[in-house]
Amino acid sequence: MKKTVVLYPGLGVGHLVPMVELAKVFLKHGVAVIVALIDPGAKSTDFSAAVARAKTSNPSVDFHVLPPPPPPPAPVDSNSQQVAASTHHVTKIFKLLTAMNAPLRDFLRSLPSVDALILDMFCADAQDVAAELELPVYYFYASGAADLAIFLNLPSRVAGNTSKMKELGDSVITFPGVPPFKASDLPNEVIGDGEALPAIVGMFDRMSRADGILVNSFDSLETRAVQALRDDGLCVPGRATPPVYCVGPLVSGGGGGEKEHECLRWLDAQPDRSVVFLSFGSMGTFSGKQLLEIAVGLEKSGERFLWVVRTPRSPDFSYGGPLPEPDLDALMPEGFLERTKDRGLVVKSWAPQVEVLRHRATGAFVTHCGWNSTLEGITAGLPLLCWPLYAEQRVNKVHIVEEMKLGVEMRGYNQEVVKAEEVEEKVRWVMASEGGEALRERVAAAKEGAAEALKEGGSSHLAFVQFLKDLDTATVQD
Ligand code: UDP
């Protein structure tokens, strides 16, 4: 009988996009698949827009929107007194996702048959639903193998002492399969005030007990990390790491917008490989001061550019909340737009990134190192200028620059601003130097490696086939 799997991507744009690509891989292998979606309500217009794009550009994929969870009870202390709810964005996301267990359970029960539940990492509490319904449970890890090698280690590193991570400061730390790096490059949620850390540790602990983990990467991109994940006891000390299947790169083909974006027509008029593209993920924003530095650097570089600019996020906007369209006249240096109009385009808020990266006129990518952006850049054959901002991006930067050697870092990423001089210098370097050309050649080789991995008989194809075989014999975890 035809298998059915349910994919549960949670609430991040960067987690939804590759999971929809995974859905298409299942379809190609003759497995029925349903993507169970959470309705974020009016709070995340970005996520709703991403869902709309995913639906339009993937008519073959079956999406099901879960009903909202019942309203949460007011939090109380041990004396039954009402207390303020946590305001930390990660804690709030976990709470919402845990509350979604009930509608998810009802939905899964309503299906004639389900063979596996495949979770995004933030949906770890849905493992309880899988256990209750006696379903095998897998994860789809939307970041790379090297990140996974680090974060599966986290529960044993933290060992119940959440202040320990903060105390590491700038010291150099080591994990299996990845180059040593500064502890300050770990996500803020791990090294910060510790409020979200127990939930994050719990999430990776649960993941380490799943039936397996599908990873959006490919063996030849992250050889050492993949090997470390396959060596039992290395990444999850004292226990076997669940089977890890590198099935990527799963990169969206783009499209799904209402009409062709004006920036693609602008690119059509530019010479081959002449434009630097600057884009900072689904949530990246800069201060007004930083935007000015970037503008000055781009202008002085003399290179062509296409730059996605968002309104600076003031403390009034919660993490990831909707932002108004930027007022470019107010945000850019006086006369900048006019002076650069023949060689530069500033796009407000959102560009069709995949199409831009694959356009023949695009020559380099200034990226915040989100994992989807990283894979999209590599599979477009573009050298990366790494400017990490949030989540696990600083760690991704370490992998890209030091291990894969497919990018160089913007040194000022961990200071108040990256200076205009550095923007100018790096943009010139990547577009018009021997070093930049050598970097381009290395990315071209990685791009070929990606295509090889996805071919029939390639490592990612074989990993997926192995996953389907293992699914036949999967046992139910706690
Ligand atoms: N993206 C886009 N246009 C933009 C900004 C982002 O299409 O202007 C897409 C990008 O192509 C990628 C996703 O949004 O698929 C961002 O995912 P990533 O993992 O890079 O970063 P995150 O959103 O998690 O920060």
Taking residues 56-66, report their average pLDDT.
Answer: 93
Question: How many angstroms is it from 281 CA to the middle of ligand 1?
Answer: 4
Q: How confident is the model at residue 253 (pLDDT cuts 50, 70, 90)?
A: confident
Q: Atom 25 in ligand 1: which residue has the minimum CA distance?
A: 281
Question: How many angstroms is it from 83 CA to the middle of ligand 1?
Answer: 36
Residue list, ligand 1 pocket, CB within 6 Å: 12-14, 17, 252, 279, 281-283, 308, 350-354, 370-373, 376
213, 242 Cβ separation under 8 angstroms: yes
Sheet containing 362-367: give its strands across: 344-348, 304-309, 275-279, 362-367, 384-386, 407-409
Q: Does this complex have an ipTM over 0.85?
A: yes
Determine the atom of ligand 1 nearest the C-alpha atom of 350. 8
Res 478: pLDDT = 47
Q: Which residue has the tokens 């009034």?
A: 316
Taking residues 37-49, report their average pLDDT.
Answer: 79
Question: How many angstroms is it from 115 CA to the middle of ligand 1?
Answer: 31
Please, is 195 exposed, middle or buried when counting C-beta atoms within 10 Å of its C-beta (0-12, 13-18, 19+)? middle
Q: Atom 11 in ligand 1: which residue has the minimum CA distance?
A: 353
Strand partners, 201: none
Q: What is the pLDDT of residues 264-298, one digit of tens each?
A: 999 999 999 999 999 999 889 999 999 999 999 99
Flag whether the pTM goes above 0.80: yes
Please, is 109 exposed, middle or buried when counting C-beta atoms within 10 Å of its C-beta (0-12, 13-18, 19+)? exposed
Taking residues 360-374, report their average pLDDT.
Answer: 98
Question: How many angstroms is it from 316 CA to the middle of ligand 1?
Answer: 23
SS3 of 164, please?
helix
Determine the atom of ligand 1 nearest the C-alpha atom of 349. 8
Q: Report d(CA 444, CA 375) in Å as an integer.
A: 13
Determine the atom of ligand 1 nearest the C-alpha atom of 370. 20
Question: How many angstroms is it from 73 CA to the middle of ligand 1?
Answer: 34
Q: Which domains does the chain have, with CATH numbers?
A: 4-252+452-472 (3.40.50.2000), 262-449 (3.40.50.2000)
Least confident window among 11-15, 23-27, 392-396, 446-450: 11-15
> Given a cut of 90, is residue 101 above it in pLDDT?
yes
Least confident window among 46-50, 96-100, 396-400: 46-50
> Given a cut of 90, is residue 368 above it in pLDDT?
yes
Q: Give the count of beta carbons closer than 10 Å to the beta carbon of residue 231.
A: 13
Question: How many angstroms is it from 48 CA to the middle of ligand 1?
Answer: 14
Contacts within 8 Å (CB) and 24+ apart, 81-89: 86/195, 88/195, 88/196, 89/318, 89/319, 89/320
- CB-based contacts of 103: which residues, under 8 Å, 6+ apart? 66, 67, 68, 69
Of 49-63, 83-97, 378-392, 463-477, give the range with the top mean pLDDT: 378-392
